[in-house]
């Protein structure tokens, strides 16, 4: 069992059908203001009016705040809450991101900065996005958008556009309406509010972790055993969270696996949460079997398996960040068409996560502009496929295994054998060596992968940045291209 403080798909993690799956557990203590803090979000997008693929960023500035531990030692003001002063300081992921964001590589203004190949952002259509979004904002931003608008939990405009988009691209078993969903400031916020609403303090969530030792064909049997173990330990599991397409593996689940999840959750009376933030980032790959994306919304266990299934337990999360190259605009949605009580309960706190009118205008305009949308999605898939192939070729030509993938913004790369990585400490040492040398990648231990040596490499960055980062990895790690099999 892997103990995890948060399922992260943004980074959210679950496992594809071709991977063995240990079950992790996430307990949900009450976070600040009473909310269950499930997922931290550390995404960033800088928009600039320049058409250059390298707009000049501001110079990196160190934070004057220091760490919470440092501030705690010198603080003499009025008493703060135990949440503010107790517990550990920022986790390693926050520290890494803080280091990265203060010193990001730029070919002109900061050529000695850190090249980011470890953050799941999509830069492949940023120029096109910027031009379209600027025009959409100029044409469709209205005086009413300066107010709270016509709803506190998502404007009628965005709900209408998103439900229509989901009907056409996710193929739900039953048509969605504007009342089938609620929006918020990114999938992280939506998941936070969802689990705050679904669960009580101390309840637990089953997570899926990568486990590269072969295919566990007894997937549901494994779930059953873990559920029994957790119950014996006094844990009350209330939900399963799945990420499809998978992060960090970059694979899509086959329909039969999704149905197996649904059957398991029905038998155990669990909520089933499907994070589908990479749904439209599926591309053709000659190395993969190219299983098409299937949304949980499209399955019908009653018809397909002949079993009873309470559709009120199924909840899907989707957002703008990954498929639309816009991590910084912070738009996410919960789709739960058969649980109006849940949506109503979330609406009671929805003002805490209401998306901004500019983001609302921009995304709804693109979703309703089907010719542009179709061209955009096709171009994104083509560029992802090209970047994935480029990255795969780099590593495989140096004798390094790359897991076959067909979705997402990243490659799952095994540096373990070629570098002799056998322990988690050795994996972390290589990560730090790369970071010290100016390239940031995501170590597999961050995804609870029990086999050391795997790293997630984001390839959806500008090609110039990708090549600089790969060359740095080559120089730092002493990688060598194989010639004539040697």
Q: In whole angstroms, what is the distance from residue 356 CA to residue 261 CA?
A: 35
Residue recorded with tokens 């995804």: 447
pLDDT exceeding 70 applies to what percent of the chain?
Answer: 80
> For residue 318, what are the β-bridge partners?
333
Residues 191 and 227 grouped into a single domain: yes
Residues 365 and 436 grouped into a single domain: no
Residues 303 and 436 grouped into a single domain: no
What pLDDT sits at residue 58?
44
> For residue 413, what are the β-bridge partners?
402, 455
Tell me the HSE value of 188 on the side-chain side, using a 13 A CA sphere.
Answer: 17
Q: Is residue 398 part of a domain?
A: yes
Mean pLDDT for the stretch of residues 352-365: 92
- Measured distance between the N- and C-terminal CA atoms of the chain, rounded to whole angstroms: 40
What digits encode the pLDDT tens for the residues 46-55? Answer: 223 333 333 4
Q: How many domains is the chain partitioned into structurally?
A: 2
Residues 156 and 108 grouped into a single domain: no
What pLDDT sits at residue 55?
43
Q: Is residue 48 part of a domain?
A: no
Residues 294 and 312 grouped into a single domain: yes
CATH number at residue 395: 3.90.1150.10
Element counts in the chain: helices (H) and strands (E): 15, 14
As given in the structure block, the two tokens for residue 81 are 């809450």
More confident residue, 365 or 102: 365
Q: How many angstroms from the chain centroid is the CA of residue 347?
A: 24
pLDDT band at residue 63 under the 50/70/90 scheme: low
Give the residue from 369, 399, 421 where a domain finishes: 369
CB 165 within 8 A of CB 8: no
- Max mean pLDDT among 44-48, 108-112, 127-131 falls in 127-131
More confident residue, 64 or 352: 352
**Per mean pLDDT, which range of 315-319, 373-377, 480-484 is the poorest?**
480-484
Q: Is residue 53 part of a domain?
A: no
Taken in order 156, 122, 96, 442, is the CA torsion positive or negative?
positive
- Per the structure, the complete domain to which residue 216 belongs is given by 2-40+147-369
Taken in order 79, 83, 88, 93, is the CA torsion positive or negative?
negative
Q: 183 pLDDT exceeds 60?
A: yes
Q: In whole angstroms, what is the distance from residue 221 CA to residue 109 CA?
A: 55
Q: Is residue 387 part of a domain?
A: yes
Which helix (H) or strand (E) is 138 found in, with range?
helix 126-140
Q: 248 pLDDT exceeds 50?
A: yes
What digits encode the pLDDT tens for the residues 7-38? Answer: 344 543 333 333 333 334 444 333 333 333 33
Q: What is the mean pLDDT of the chain?
A: 82
What pLDDT sits at residue 19?
33
pLDDT band at residue 450 under the 50/70/90 scheme: confident
What pLDDT sits at residue 226?
76
CA distances from 432 to 113, 114, 435, 439, 440 (A): 15, 12, 5, 9, 9
Residues 362 and 386 grouped into a single domain: no
């Amino acid at each position: 069992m892997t103990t995890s403080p948060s399922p992260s798909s943004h980074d959210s993690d679950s496992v594809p059908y071709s991977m063995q799956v240990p079950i992790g557990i996430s307990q949900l203590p009450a976070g600040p203001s009473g909310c269950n803090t499930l997922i931290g979000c550390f995404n960033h997008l800088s928009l600039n009016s320049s058409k250059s693929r390298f707009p000049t960023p501001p110079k990196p500035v160190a934070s004057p705040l220091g760490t919470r531990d440092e501030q705690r030692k010198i603080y003499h003001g009025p008493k703060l809450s135990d949440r503010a002063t107790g517990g550990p300081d920022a986790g390693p992921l926050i520290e890494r991101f803080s280091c990265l964001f203060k010193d990001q590589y730029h070919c002109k203004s900061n050529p000695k900065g850190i090249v980011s190949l470890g953050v799941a952002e999509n830069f492949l259509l940023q120029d096109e996005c910027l031009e379209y979004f600027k025009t959409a904002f100029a044409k469709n931003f209205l005086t009413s958008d300066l107010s709270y608008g016509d709803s506190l939990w998502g404007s009628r405009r965005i709900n209408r556009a998103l439900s229509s988009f989901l009907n056409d691209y996710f193929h739900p078993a039953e048509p969605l309406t504007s009342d089938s969903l609620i929006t918020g400031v990114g999938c992280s916020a939506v998941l936070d509010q969802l689990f705050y609403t679904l669960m009580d303090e101390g309840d637990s969530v089953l997570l899926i972790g990568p486990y590269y030792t072969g295919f566990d064909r007894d997937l549901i049997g494994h779930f059953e055993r873990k559920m029994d173990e957790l119950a014996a330990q006094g844990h009350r599991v209330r939900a399963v969270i799945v990420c499809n397409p998978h992060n960090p593996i970059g694979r899509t689940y086959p329909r039969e696996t999704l149905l197996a999840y649904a059957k398991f959750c029905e038998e155990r009376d669990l909520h089933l949460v499907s994070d589908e933030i990479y749904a439209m980032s599926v591309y053709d790959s000659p190395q993969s079997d190219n299983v098409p994306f299937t949304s949980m919304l499209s399955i019908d266990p009653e018809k397909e398996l002949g079993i009873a299934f309470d559709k009120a337990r199924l909840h899907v999360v989707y957002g703008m960040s990954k498929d639309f190259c816009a991590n910084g605009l912070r738009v996410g949605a919960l789709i739960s068409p058969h649980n109006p009580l849940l949506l109503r309960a979330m609406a009671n706190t929805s003002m805490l996560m209401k998306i901004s009118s500019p983001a609302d205008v921009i995304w709804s305009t693109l979703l309703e502009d089907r010719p542009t949308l179709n061209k955009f999605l096709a171009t994104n898939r083509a560029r992802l496929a090209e970047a994935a192939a480029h990255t795969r070729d780099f590593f495989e030509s140096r004798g390094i295994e790359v897991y076959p993938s067909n979705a997402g913004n990243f490659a799952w790369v095994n540096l373990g054998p070629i570098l002799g990585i056998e322990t988690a400490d050795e994996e972390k040492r290589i990560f730090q060596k790369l970071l010290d040398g100016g390239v940031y990648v995501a170590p597999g231990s961050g995804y609870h992968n029990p086999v050391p040596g795997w790293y997630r490499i984001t390839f959806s960055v500008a090609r110039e940045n990708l090549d600089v980062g790969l060359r740095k990895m080559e120089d730092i790690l002493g990688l060598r291209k194989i010639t004539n099999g040697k």
